[in-house]
Structure 1
Amino acid sequence: MSPLRYAVLVSPLSPEDGGGFLATVPDLPGCMSDGETPQEAISNVQDAIESWIEAAHDMGWDIPPPSKRAAIG
């Protein structure tokens, strides 16, 4: 199966939250990761997407298709 491409939102984290950047995947509830740079956050969230899909599959959940939003990464 070819990898699914999901939209990723990247936002800066406050210094109180450790700084860096947060990458979230709106189509996959709770799927997120962070990194020191936006690129690192996007790279890290790709692993989170794979883990999210694997866990959903193992639990018998439906895996939502990527929305029509532009995918990043």
Structure 2
Amino acid sequence: MNQRMRQVILYKDEDGYWVVGCPSLKGCISQGRTKEEALSNIREAISGYVAALEEDGLPVPEEKFETFLVVV
């Protein structure tokens, strides 16, 4: 199994669920009742997303996302 690292953004929505998205894979978003569940779900979503691209012979986007904290 070829493992790659992907950055994700995790935040709590207004309904109390944790939402997590992978910016380098457009539209790859998941959620969970806990942080752990959300992170487990996004791992599965990322794996499925990449597998579908590879199956269709499409390129898998490289990880190019950076994060910064901005003080205002």
TM-score range, shorter chain: 0.7 to 0.9
User: Which residue pairs with 2:9 in the alignment?
Assistant: 9
* Aligned length, in residue pairs: 67
User: Which residue pairs with 2:61 in the alignment?
Assistant: 64
Shift of 1:43: 1.2
Deviations 1:2-33 (A, max 9, x none): 31110010011212xxx311110000011111
> What is the aligned-residue identity percentage?
28
Cα distance in 2 between the residues matched to 1:47 and 1:53: 10
Write the letter of the residue equivalent to 1:2.
N
Greater relative contact order (Cα < 8 A, sep 6+): 1
Partner of 1:40: helix, strand, or coil? helix
TM-score scaled by length of structure 2: 0.80
- Unaligned 5+ segments in structure 2 are 68-72
TM-score scaled by length of structure 1: 0.79
- Unaligned 5+ segments in structure 1 are none
- The root-mean-square deviation of aligned C-alpha atoms, in Å, is 1.7
| CA 3–48 in structure 1, closer or farther in 2 if over 3 Å, else same | same
Cα distance in 2 between the residues matched to 1:2 and 1:58: 15
The match for 2:35 among 34, 38, 42 is 38
Asked which structure has the greater CA Rg, the reply is 2
